[in-house]
Amino acid sequence: MTRVVVVGAGIAGLTVAHDLARDPDLDVLVLEGAPRVGGKLLTAEVGGVSVDVGAEAMLARRPEGVALARELGLPVVHPATTSSRLWLGGELRPLPRSVLGVPVDLDQLAASGVLTPAGLNRVRAEPSLPPTELAGDVSVAELVGSRLGAEVVDRLVEPLLGGVYAGHARALSARATVPQVVSMLDRGSLVEAAAALPVTDTPVFAGIEGGVGRLPLALAEGLTVRTGATVRELRRRAEGGFELVVGSAAAPELIAADRVVLATPAAPTARLLADLAPTAAAELAAVEYASMAIVTLAFRAADAALLGTDVSGFLVPPVEGRTIKASTFSFAKWDWVRAAGGDVAVLRTSLGRHREEAVLQAADDELVTASLADLKAATGLAATPVASQVQRWGGGLPQYAVGHLDKVARIRTAIAEVPGLAVCGAAYDGVGIPAVIASAHRAAAEVGQAE
Ligand SMILES: Cc1cc2nc3c(=O)[nH]c(=O)nc-3n(C[C@H](O)[C@H](O)[C@H](O)COP(=O)(O)OP(=O)(O)OC[C@H]3O[C@@H](n4cnc5c(N)ncnc54)[C@H](O)[C@@H]3O)c2cc1C
Instruction: Ligand 1 pocket test: pick from 433, 437, 441, 442 the residue with the most ligand atoms within 8 Å of its Cβ.
Output: 433
Measured in angstroms, how far is the CA atom of residue 55 from the centroid of ligand 1? 9
Q: Decide: 99 and 194 in contact? Cβ < 8 Å.
A: yes
Q: Which atom of ligand 1 has the smallest separation from the CA of 397? A: 53
- In whole angstroms, give the CA distance from residue 314 to residue 87: 7
Q: Is residue 326 part of a domain?
A: yes
Residue nearest to atom 35 of ligand 1 (CA): 8
Q: Which atom of ligand 1 has the smallest separation from the CA of 38? A: 49
Q: Is residue 429 part of a domain?
A: yes
61: left (phi over 0), alpha (psi -120 to 50) or beta: alpha
Q: Is residue 202 part of a domain?
A: no
Judgement on whether residues 302 and 365 belong to the same structural domain of the protein = yes
Domain that holds residue 350: 43-81+290-398
Measured in angstroms, how far is the CA atom of residue 57 from the centroid of ligand 1? 14
Where does a domain end: 195, 226, 259?
A: 195
pLDDT tens-digit series, residues 110-146: 999 999 999 999 999 999 999 999 989 999 999 999 9
Measured in angstroms, how far is the CA atom of residue 56 from the centroid of ligand 1? 12
Here the CATH number for the domain that contains residue 54 is: 3.90.660.20
Judgement on whether residues 73 and 113 belong to the same structural domain of the protein = no
Which residues does ligand 1 sit against, CB inside 6 Å? Answer: 7-13, 31-34, 39-41, 54-58, 230-231, 263-265, 268, 292, 294, 393, 396-397, 425-426, 431-433, 436
Q: Which atom of ligand 1 has the smallest separation from the CA of 427? A: 26
Measured in angstroms, how far is the CA atom of residue 272 from the centroid of ligand 1? 18
Measured in angstroms, how far is the CA atom of residue 426 from the centroid of ligand 1? 7
**Tens place of pLDDT per residue across the chain (451 aa):** 999 999 999 999 999 999 999 999 999 999 999 999 999 999 999 999 999 999 999 999 999 999 999 999 999 999 999 999 999 999 999 999 999 999 999 999 999 999 999 999 999 999 999 999 998 999 999 999 999 999 999 999 999 998 899 999 999 999 999 999 999 999 999 999 999 998 888 889 999 999 999 999 999 998 999 999 999 999 999 999 999 999 888 889 999 999 999 999 999 999 999 999 999 999 999 999 999 999 999 999 999 999 999 999 999 999 999 999 999 999 999 999 999 999 999 999 999 999 998 999 999 999 999 999 999 999 999 999 999 999 999 999 999 999 999 999 999 999 999 999 999 999 999 999 999 999 999 999 999 975 5
Where does a domain end: 143, 168, 195?
A: 195
Judgement on whether residues 58 and 133 belong to the same structural domain of the protein = no
Q: Is residue 298 part of a domain?
A: yes
Judgement on whether residues 56 and 22 belong to the same structural domain of the protein = no
Long-range contacts of 384-387 (CB under 8 A, 24+ apart): 385/47, 385/297, 385/298, 385/299, 386/47, 386/298, 386/299, 386/300, 386/344, 387/46, 387/47, 387/48, 387/297, 387/298
Q: Is residue 205 part of a domain?
A: no
- In whole angstroms, give the CA distance from residue 431 to residue 88: 27
Judgement on whether residues 414 and 278 belong to the same structural domain of the protein = yes
Judgement on whether residues 49 and 108 belong to the same structural domain of the protein = no
Q: Decide: 343 and 303 in contact? Cβ < 8 Å.
A: no
Judgement on whether residues 389 and 412 belong to the same structural domain of the protein = no
- In whole angstroms, give the CA distance from residue 120 to residue 113: 9
Residue nearest to atom 13 of ligand 1 (CA): 55
Judgement on whether residues 332 and 364 belong to the same structural domain of the protein = yes
Q: Decide: 312 and 83 in contact? Cβ < 8 Å.
A: yes
Judgement on whether residues 100 and 231 belong to the same structural domain of the protein = no
- With the CA atoms of 152, 158, 159 and 165 taken in that order, what torsion angle do they form, in degrees rounded to the nearest 10? 150
What is the domain count for the chain? 3
Residue nearest to atom 51 of ligand 1 (CA): 55
Q: Is residue 61 part of a domain?
A: yes
Judgement on whether residues 254 and 338 belong to the same structural domain of the protein = no
The answer for residues whose C-beta is within 8 angstroms of residue 440's C-beta and 6 or more apart is 11, 12, 13, 15, 16, 19, 263, 424, 425
Q: What type of residue sits at position 212? A: V
Residue nearest to atom 30 of ligand 1 (CA): 39
Here the CATH number for the domain that contains residue 439 is: 3.50.50.60
Measured in angstroms, how far is the CA atom of residue 266 from the centroid of ligand 1? 11
Judgement on whether residues 413 and 268 belong to the same structural domain of the protein = yes
**What sign does the dihedral 14-20-24-30 (CA atoms) show?**
negative
Polymer length in residues for the chain:
451
Q: Decide: 143 and 178 in contact? Cβ < 8 Å.
A: yes
